[in-house]
Amino acid sequence: NIVLTQSPATLSVTPGESVSLSCRASQSISTSIHWYQKKSNESPRLLIKYASQSISGIPSRFSGSGSGTDFTLSINRVESEDFSIYYCQQSYSSLYTFGAGTKLELK
């Protein structure tokens, strides 16, 4: 299985700060990485597909970058509704895997 390592595990920020969340793959996966936001009692929501492709209805403050093994989800000027958990997921292999998540919390 392809292992995805997310860092940091927890990120404490104040609203208005800009942040970067990291996802590293155990082997090269081209741009086959997708990002999700997970809030308590809600289903995961797709934010970014194929590393950097935007999703309709997702605020423009969310962006993604990277290829190969290193990927980044950036949030430009965090808003209060953004405090949640973020996961990366690979589809390079049809044995899909998720990262362990990064919790974005209020400082």
Partner 1 sequence: EVQLQESGPGLVKPSQSLSLTCSVTGYSITSSYKWNWIRKFPGNKLEWMGYINSAGSSNYTPSLKSRISITRDTSKNQFFLQVNSVTTEDTATYYCARGGSPFDYWGQGVMVTVSS
- Site residues (vs partner 1, CB under 8 A): 1, 32, 34, 36, 38, 43-44, 46, 49, 85, 87, 89, 91, 94-98, 100-101, 103
**DSSP, res 69:** T
CB 7 within 8 A of CB 88: no
- As a dihedral over the C-alpha atoms of residue 68, residue 33, residue 8, residue 75, rounded to 10 degrees, the angle is 110
Report the nearest approach of partner 1 to the CB of residue 79 (Å). Answer: 22
Report the nearest approach of partner 1 to the CB of residue 46 (Å). Answer: 6
Which of 14/43 has CB closer to partner 1?
43
Query: How far is 10 from 44, CA to CA, in rounded Å?
Result: 18
Which of 36/75 has CB closer to partner 1?
36
